[in-house]
Structure 1
């Protein structure tokens, strides 16, 4: 069994789980965290919005499946974005979704 090594945020107000994507200037990004606590801190900072979402640990294999399933609008992965309340010049480190997919495939 492959150990869980990545944390995504799933849920949503629709009742059926979906993957959280955040809107950037030129597309959407899947936030990816290194711990459940870090993801929960991000969610807690979003106020009421975060109520319908939860962190979920996934293996590298599952992360690859999730990323491959996303549509064209999800162009990036945001690495451990800071909590919403930290404003003022905080940059989010992003990588192209396709680059992460290639990296995950090469490690299989």
Structure 2
């Protein structure tokens, strides 16, 4: 039960910290109002996962907000490369019915 608007990335697993860990992110009951960039960012190579449920995206008629962005994290401090986006059942756990656009 949280609302966010005018955001970059709502929740992000550190992609370039010196010490890395597997992270599990659960988002439920979120209302995200455009403009925004990504709801969640995770590092697939560290086994991170994100579960999205009951997400409402408001005012994003072009569906520009990325619900779940995958990255290849590192411990060197370099900006991590992207590794796809969208539901996959392993890293980004959600279905189209979990996200409502208004």
Would you call these one fold, judging by a TM-score over 0.5? no
Q: Normalising by structure 2, report the TM-score.
A: 0.29
Of Structure 1 and Structure 2, the greater strand share is in: 2
